[in-house]
Structure formats: C-alpha cells, structure tokens
Amino acid sequence: MSDQFDPELFQTKLYLSPEKDQLFETGPWPKPFVFNEDVVRVFDDMISRSVPLYREVLACAAHWARDYYQPGTRIIDIGCSTGTFLELLGRFLKQPATLVGIDNSQPMLEKARQKLERIQQIHQVELICETAENCSFENSSVVVINYTLQFLPLQVRQKLLRSIYEGLNPGGLLFLSEKVKSACPQFQETINRHYEAFKAHNGYAKTEIERKKEALENVLVPLTEAQQISMLQESGFSHIDSPIKLHNFISLVALK
Ligand SMILES: Nc1ncnc2c1ncn2[C@@H]1O[C@H](C[S@+](CC[C@H]([NH3+])C(=O)[O-])CC(=O)[O-])[C@@H](O)[C@H]1O
Ligand SMILES: O=C(O)C(=O)Cc1ccccc1
C-alpha cells in the first residue's frame, strides 16, 4: 500500500492536557508573560486555543519530519514545551529514532517527560533543559522550531538559525512556525481583528485577549514574513517554502 493511503498517517489527534486556560480571566496573570508553573499547567489548552491551525501545523510538521528524517541522525524540537509535537511524531515514524526536545523551562519538560513515556518505549528520547542558543544541532536531519524563535532577542535569532544550519546534515530540513506581522499597517490591523475574532470564537473574552496582548508586548516580537525568509536565506538555507499560513501565523520549511 502506498504511504498516501496509509490510515496511520491520519491518526493526528494530539495528546493535550485538559486543564482550561483561565489565567487572564481573573488574575493575577503573568505580566510580562513568562513560562511559569501556572502557564505550564494550562499550556496545552492555551496554545491550542490561541494558535490558528495548531493541530494541522503539528501534523504537517510530522509529515515533513517523516519525509526528511535520515536514519541514524537526530530529530530536534526546539521549544518543545510539553512534548506534544514529539509525542505525535513518535507515533508517526515508521522506525525507531532519536528524538530530542530542547526547552529552557524545567516545568515544561516535566510535563513533556510524562507525555513521552509511551513513545520512549519505541524511540530514544532526550529532553534537554537549556536555552536554544547554547545547544548544538550536530548530526540532525530535521529541526523543528514552532512558535519559539519569536520569544528570542532579535540579535540572537540570526545566530541561532545559523547554528541550526551548521548542525543540520546536508539535505536536512528546518520546519519553523512563527507569529508574523504584516508589512502593510492596514492589513496588519485587519489581520489582528481576524485573529482576535478567532480567539473569541475559541472562548476567550475580550478582557482576556486584551490582557494577554499587553503581557506579550516586548516579549513576543514578531517579524514580517519577508524578514523571516531573509533571515533563513542569510543563515544559508537554499530552498524555502510555506506550507501553512492563517491570520498572523506562518509555517516555513527550509532545506540545507
Ligand atoms: N531561549 C529559549 N530556549 C529554549 N526554549 C525556550 C527559549 N525561550 C522560550 N523557550 C520555550 O519555548 C516555548 C515556546 S511555546 C512552543 C510551543 C511548542 N513548540 C508547541 O508547538 O507546542 C510557544 C508559545 O508559548 O507561544 C516555551 O516552552 C518556552 O519555555
Ligand atoms: O500571540 C498571541 O496572542 C498568543 O496568544 C500566542 C501565544 C500562545 C501561547 C503562549 C504565548 C503566546
């Protein structure tokens, strides 16, 4: 049977903790926004209700990772949070692999460790509590960095992308998802409205949306899509494409 019709490929249900995100409803809420224990407790609900196409993006990343994985190399998820992507990928891969999750929040990795217990029986799983800038990406064929570069200081982003490029094996793939801003102020205003309507549709009240926006100011700093692509090009990546975009969130793939 060809892969295209393999029903396993469509088992993309994510392993998400059910605790509801009400952090910005009553307070005290984290301002400036940080990945503390309160956030970690409700993180799965928060991200899946706040990022457009979150489930589809993770499934898409798993498809790309499966296609570009070179046996004997590492697959690295930078900013792995509670391990949701690695858990999905672990079920997707056809052969045992080394799956590495990097995150600088210990409480996130504690959740990830629990979530990855089953996957660990098949794959070698390494969870590293470290800032991404200090990590090596040697002997990797796939690096995923979803919604994490956006939190790093601007001058660190280019350095990190270059270090990922250097670590990847030839033919290796970077899968990058980010919040972006429009180069056109009028479109930016329109897209923001669409994004806020999306959040409201997912059950967030106007005050929660406003408070979180304030908390994220100067913490999550988005670039434009063009700036993001040019950073990837400057880091050495040759082919760049965008498999997904909705509202102010984009996923890019880049090849070494
Ligand atoms: N310098 C850093 N080094 C390492 N980790 C960091 C750093 N800064 C922040 N983090 C970690 O990056 C993650 C960002 S969340 C990623 C979602 C995940 N990818 C997902 O698809 O579920 C995105 C969001 O919250 O919007 C958090 O777990 C931080 O602790
Ligand atoms: O950009 C936003 O407004 C978000 O809410 C995205 C997000 C999701 C999870 C943690 C931090 C930011």
Query: How confident is the model at residue 200, as a pLDDT?
Result: 97
Tokens coding 83: 């391990």
The radius of gyration computed from the CA coordinates of the chain, to the nearest angstrom, equals 18
Q: What is the DSSP letter of 222?
A: P
Query: How confident is the model at residue 27, as a pLDDT?
Result: 76
Report the alpha-carbon angle 144-10-78, nearest 5. 10
The ligand 1 atom at the shortest distance from the C-alpha of residue 50 is 26
- Residue 219: closest CA among 153, 173, 171, 147: 153
**Helices (H), ranges, the chain:** 23-26, 37-50, 54-68, 84-92, 106-115, 154-167, 185-201, 206-216, 225-234
Q: Is the CB of 141 under 6 A from ligand 2?
A: no
pLDDT in tens, the chain (256 residues): 445 555 555 577 899 999 999 999 987 788 899 899 999 999 999 999 999 999 999 999 999 999 999 999 999 999 999 999 999 999 999 899 999 999 999 999 999 999 999 999 999 999 999 999 999 999 999 999 999 999 999 999 999 999 999 999 999 999 999 999 999 999 999 999 999 999 999 999 999 999 999 999 999 999 999 999 999 999 999 899 999 999 999 999 999 9
CA of 181 to the centre of ligand 2 (A): 14
Query: How confident is the model at residue 10, as a pLDDT?
Result: 56
DSSP notation for 118-152: TGGGTSEEEEEES-GGG---TTEEEEEEES-GGGS
Contacts (Cβ under 8 Å, ≥6 apart) of 38 = 23, 30
Return the SS3 of 7: helix
| pTM exceeding the 0.90 threshold for the entire prediction | yes
- Binding site for S-adenosyl-L-methionine, by residue number, is 54, 79-81, 103-104, 146
Q: Residue 123 forms beta bridges with which residues? A: none
